[in-house]
Amino acid sequence: MQDCRFKCVSIIGVGLLGASLGLALKQRALAGRVVGVGRAGSDSLSIALRRQAIDIAQTDPAQAVREASLVVLATSLGQFPAIFERISEALPTGALVTDVGSTKTQVMHWAAQELPDHVDFIGSHPMAGSEKRGPQFARPDLFENAVCLVCPPPIQARGPRTEQRVESATNRVEALWRAVGMNTRRLDARRHDQWVASVSHLPHAVATALVLAASETPQALSAIAGGFLDTTRIASADPVIWADIFLTNKPAVMNQLTVFIRRLRTLQTAIRRGDQAVIADLLQQAKTTRDTLANNRNPS
């Protein structure tokens, strides 16, 4: 077993994910102390303190990481470049840096550009959360039984770091997420971004367009049922976080949108032609796949 106790953990961004990680680390005694970083004047820091998700509140990321053995970026992706730049000079030798961002290629690139050789950056994407935001919704069990995708840096971004050193850092990050209850899966950043474009970013774009399309028939909204609300639930998530996600995963998202529209056109053509057999076959294919996914996830 990897040692996953950290003397001082800095969590930059104390929203739902950051504060939940603080709660989970403290509940399991995995961190000596937890420093939380938030904006001056926002409520998040005081809520996170009051809920004991963090021990110390900081508004300056550089100050917050000076003694950190582990640093976790948990803001929206758009803030990452400025944070990397800000903490770069302050990070102590041997610090392990990771994140909870939903895209990885761009993040690995930023980290390789900005962070010094005496620290290790390993990308993380804990696939947990909800459409709710803020430390008031944080839960120490948020990560339990969910999947965390972990991305070591690609060869060309490693600088002087040996394979052994990268392997060791990756193992420590995996141990961290497993310690808070997650199932980890290691893969390279490019593949990560393709996967989440398919199962997360595309559904988000589609749910958004569904609500916008339905808004064009406002009277019809009085007839919505549970199906519509389920299908569009993720459209209630934070617009700024998601704008950043789309922008940092542009090629894979564009590709998935193309695949999706092609599939929708196939169904549309079958409906226009009145081809009952083709329509039923497409619906059956989707049902079989979706039933399998739901059963695998919730074994009864």
* Interface of this chain with a second copy, residues 73 to 102, rule: CB under 8 A: 78
- Hey, which residues between 214 and 243 contact a second copy (CB under 8 A)? 214-217, 219-237, 239-240, 242-243
Instruction: Indicate which single residue of 4, 14, 24, 253 sits in contact with a second copy (rule: CB under 8 A).
Output: 253
The interface region with a second copy, picked from 79-87, 103-111, 133-141, 143-151 by CB under 8 A, is 143-151
Q: Which is nearer to a second copy, 98 or 256 (CB)?
A: 256
Instruction: Indicate which single residue of 1, 40, 272, 299 sits in contact with a second copy (rule: CB under 8 A).
Output: 272
Q: Residue 281: count other Cβ atoms within 10 Å of its Cβ.
A: 12
Q: Which amino acid is at 247?
A: L
Instruction: Indicate which single residue of 91, 111, 128, 169 sits in contact with a second copy (rule: CB under 8 A).
Output: 128
- Hey, which residues between 174 and 213 contact a second copy (CB under 8 A)? 185, 194-196, 198-200, 202-213
Instruction: Indicate which single residue of 41, 274, 299, 300 sits in contact with a second copy (rule: CB under 8 A).
Output: 274
Q: Which is nearer to a second copy, 52 or 283 (CB)?
A: 283
Q: Give the total of residues touching a second copy (CB under 8 A).
A: 89
Q: Which is nearer to a second copy, 1 or 262 (CB)?
A: 262
> How far is the C-alpha of 53 from the C-alpha of 135, rounded, in Å?
8
**Cβ contact 117:141 at 8 Å:** no
Q: Which is nearer to a second copy, 118 or 263 (CB)?
A: 263
By CB under 8 A, tell whether 7 contacts a second copy.
no
Instruction: Indicate which single residue of 62, 112, 127, 175 sits in contact with a second copy (rule: CB under 8 A).
Output: 127
Give me the least distance between CB of 117 and a second copy, in Å please. Answer: 31
- Hey, which residues between 279 and 298 contact a second copy (CB under 8 A)? 279-287, 289-291, 293-294, 297
Q: Give buried/exposed letters for 215-242 (b at 16+ CB in 10 A, else e).
A: eeeeeeeeeeeeeeeeebebbebbeebb
Q: Which is nearer to a second copy, 52 or 145 (CB)?
A: 145
Give me the least distance between CB of 84 and a second copy, in Å please. Answer: 19
The interface region with a second copy, picked from 9-17, 27-35, 37-45, 145-153 by CB under 8 A, is 145-153
Nearest to 116 by CA among 92, 98, 99, 100: 92
Give me the least distance between CB of 278 and a second copy, in Å please. Answer: 9
User: At 101, phi and psi to the nearest 5?
Assistant: -70, 155
> How far is the C-alpha of 246 from the C-alpha of 114, rounded, in Å?
22
